[in-house]
Amino acid sequence: MRAVEKHFGDLHVLKTINLTVHRGEVVVVIGPSGSGKSTLCRTINRLETIDSGEILVDGTPLPEEGKALAKLRADVGMVFQSFNLFAHKSVLDNVTLGPIKVRGMKSKEAKDHAMDLLRRVGVADQAAKLPAQLSGGQQQRVAIARALAMQPKVMLFDEPTSALDPEMINEVLDVMTELARSGMTMVVVTHEMGFARRAADRVVFMDQGEIVEEKDPETFFTAPESDRAKDFLGKIL
């Protein structure tokens, strides 16, 4: 992201955002509510447009529309707080649909790949069920499998555990930790500081639309520089 600016009306939500995420890197974005974290994520797969600046994925500027945009959205996997699964499709169909429609994968191949992914996230035995028959933690793991099925270049997670009951948070974070270790490029908005310490290569702290600090997790959590980061950490730790 180069000098990215974004307004909602009079509200300046992204202020000159410069951010590079390298291949294989895990970047955790933290900051107070309303600081622009979700908007930042959403601009990366063009769920939000930007006013000025530039966003490149794997060296290519974001396409505006059409097939190229569908392809970009396949390359940039996104997992939301509210799992956003297709309610009337089975778990398996949720995972195979994108690869068949967007990637042009054959049904058999898509199914085999989907079952591998469902096994990887620990819900293969739920493949025939509808999302509503699963727990929140299981649904979120299906959402991760669905994004992975598109073979994305980068995965964005926007508070993936915030809507979960406490006992289900770790089963999702464990999947994300495994994904991080496997070398996936990830941008993760989360309040789970344990995950940030364990999995992040870098912590990006946002406040009021700005990136205020960027540090390795150890340095950030033990020696935050800015008063804003100190204040935020004081409230949540």
DSSP string across 69-101: HHHHHHHEEEE-SS----TTS-HHHHHHHHHHH
What crossing angle do the helices spanning 136-149 and 166-181 adopt, rounded to 10°? 20
Binding mask 209-228 for ligand ADP (x = CB under 6 A): --------------------
Closest CA to 28 of 209, 185, 219, 186: 186
Q: Exactly one of 38, 45, 126, 138 binds Mg ion (CB under 5 A); which one?
A: 38
Work out the burial of residue 136: count CB atoms within 10 Å of its CB; fewer than 13 is exposed, 13-18 middle, 19 or more buried. Answer: middle
Part in contact with ligand ADP (CB under 6 A); list of ranges 33-41, 123-131, 134-142, 176-184: 33-41
What does 39 interact with, of ligand ADP, Mg ion, none (CB < 5 to 8 A by kind)? ligand ADP
Output the furthest CA–CA distance in the chain (Å, rounded).
Answer: 55
Part in contact with Mg ion (CB under 5 A); list of ranges 2-10, 18-26, 35-43, 207-215: 35-43
User: Is 46 near ligand ADP (CB under 6 A)?
Assistant: no
Bridge pairing between strands 11-17 and 202-207:
unpaired
- The smaller minimum CB distance to ligand ADP, of residues 7 and 89, is found at 7
CA distance 229 to 160: 22
What is the smallest separation between the CB atom of 39 and ligand ADP, expressed in angstroms?
Answer: 3
User: Is 51 near ligand ADP (CB under 6 A)?
Assistant: no
Bridge pairing between strands 52-54 and 56-57:
unpaired
- The smaller minimum CB distance to Mg ion, of residues 37 and 202, is found at 37
Q: Exactly one of 36, 98, 217, 224 binds ligand ADP (CB under 6 A); which one?
A: 36
Q: Exactly one of 3, 8, 58, 109 binds ligand ADP (CB under 6 A); which one?
A: 8
Q: How far is CA 125 from CA 11, 17, 145, in A?
A: 46, 43, 14
Part in contact with ligand ADP (CB under 6 A); list of ranges 36-44, 82-90, 92-100, 196-204: 36-44
What is the smallest separation between the CB atom of 134 and Mg ion, expressed in angstroms?
Answer: 24
- The smaller minimum CB distance to Mg ion, of residues 29 and 123, is found at 29
DSSP secondary structure letter of residue 28 = E
What does 35 interact with, of Mg ion, ligand ADP, none (CB < 5 to 8 A by kind)? ligand ADP
Contact 81, 143 (CB under 8 A): no
